[in-house]
Amino acid sequence: MQEKAIFRFSAFADEITPDFDGQLAALKELGIPLLELRGVDGKSFTQLTDEEVDAVKQKLQNAGIGLSALGSPIGKIDADGDFEAHLRLFDRIMDIGEKLDCRRIRMFSFYRGSLDEAAFEQKVYEWIEKLLVKAEERGFVLCHENEKDIYGDSPAHEHALLSHFGGRLKAVLDLGNFAFCRMDPSPAYPSMKDYIEYFHIKDADEDGTIVPPGKGVAGLENMLRQIAADRAGKEVILTMEPHLMMFTGLSSLSKLDDIRHKYTFESPFEAFRVAYEAVQNMIG
C-alpha cells in the first residue's frame, strides 16, 4: 500500500462555544487532539493575564489537548496604523506562546488603509520583515493566512510574499477563504506547497456563501489527495475553521455582512461535527 501523509486534526473550538472548558470537552467528544488557540471565555487569548494563561495551560494538560498554533490577530491593522503598538502586542503574544510551549503564530498581512498600492506593498514587506526578525530571535514560526482584504488575499500576492521571504515566512493555507472571496483557489496549493506549515479548512460556493467542507468550490478533496501524496509519511495539521454558524467573536474576525450561510444546524457543535466528519471522509 502506498504511504500517505499522516493527518492530524486541530480546531478553532471557539466556534463551538466561547467557554474554554466547553471547548475542551467538545474536542474530546469529537476526538480532535489539537486546538488552535483564539478565543478563551469570550475574549481573545491575547487579553489573558499571566494567571489566566497558566490556567489555560493546566486545563489543556488535564484534557490531554495540545496546541497546534496561536490564532493571533497580528497583521489585522491598517498599513498606515500604529505599528509600534502592534509590535507590543506581538511581544505579548510571544510571551504567551512561551508560557504555553507553542511556537507557531498565525498572522495576516495588513489592510491597505489610505495608502496607494505601491506604498501599501512596500509597508507590508517592511513590517513583516520586522515581525520575522523578532520572531526568529525568540524561536517562533510566523504562518501567514490568506484572508479577505489583506495584502495576501489572492494566490498571486500570497505566493509573492512567501517567495520574497525565501521560506522564513510560512503559510497557513485556507482554500475556503479564496472561494469566499470568489477567487479561483486552484493555483494556490501548487504554487505555495513548499512554504505551507499547516492548513485551515472551510469551504464556500461560487457565490461566496459558506458551506460545509466539500460542498463548495474550494477544491478541498483534490488538495487533500495531493497533500497525501506530496507529504507521504509526514504529519500534516488540518485546523477546522468551518464558519458554519455565527459565534462569539466572529464580528472581530470578519464583517458580519460578508458572512452568508446556505445550511442550518441545530447547534454550533452539530455544525462542527458535520464539517469534521466531511473532512474525515475525504481523507479516508
CA distances from 239 to 71, 94, 106, 144, 156 (A): 11, 21, 12, 14, 23
DSSP class per residue in 55-122: HHHHHHHHHT-EEEEEE--TT-SBTTS-HHHHHHHHHHHHHHHHHHT--EEEE---B-TT--HHHHHH
pLDDT at residue 38, rounded to an integer: 97
Task: Determine, yes or no, domain membership for 1.
Answer: no
* 56 neighbors 45 (Cβ within 8 angstroms): yes
Considering only the C-alpha atoms of the chain, give the largest distance between any 2 of them, rounded to a whole number of Å: 55
d(CA 141, CA 127) in angstroms, rounded, equals 16
Residues near 232 by beta carbon (within 8 Å), at least 6 away in sequence: 2, 3, 4, 5
pLDDT at residue 212, rounded to an integer: 96
* 258 neighbors 251 (Cβ within 8 angstroms): no
Rg (CA), the chain: 18
Q: Which helix (H) or strand (E) holds 195?
A: none
DSSP state of 277: H
Q: In what order do the strands lie in the sheet with 196-201?
A: 6-11, 235-240, 196-201, 170-173, 141-145, 104-107, 66-71, 34-37
Task: Determine, yes or no, domain membership for 45.
Answer: yes
Q: Which helix (H) or strand (E) holds 240?
A: strand 235-240
Task: Determine, yes or no, domain membership for 27.
Answer: yes
User: Per-residue pLDDT for the chain (284 aa), expressed as one digit of tens each?
Assistant: 568 999 999 999 999 999 999 999 999 999 999 999 999 999 999 999 999 999 999 999 999 999 999 999 999 999 999 999 999 999 999 999 999 999 999 999 999 999 999 999 999 999 999 999 999 999 999 999 999 999 999 999 999 999 999 999 999 999 999 999 999 999 999 999 999 999 999 999 999 999 999 999 999 999 999 999 999 999 999 999 999 986 655 555 554 457 778 888 999 999 999 999 999 999 98
**Residue recorded with cell 510551549:** 101
Task: Determine, yes or no, domain membership for 110.
Answer: yes
User: Which CATH number characterizes residue 272's domain?
Assistant: 3.20.20.150
pLDDT at residue 262, rounded to an integer: 81
pTM of the entire structure?
A: 0.94
Give Cα 47 distance to the centre of its chain.
19
Number of domains in the chain: 1
Task: Determine, yes or no, domain membership for 151.
Answer: yes
Give Cα 94 distance to the centre of its chain.
17
208 backbone φψ class: left, alpha, beta (φ>0; ψ -120 to 50) = left
Residue among 212, 210, 178 nearest 192 (CA) = 178
pLDDT at residue 40, rounded to an integer: 98
Task: Determine, yes or no, domain membership for 269.
Answer: yes
Task: Determine, yes or no, domain membership for 98.
Answer: yes
For residue 35, the enclosing domain spans 6-283
Task: Determine, yes or no, domain membership for 254.
Answer: yes
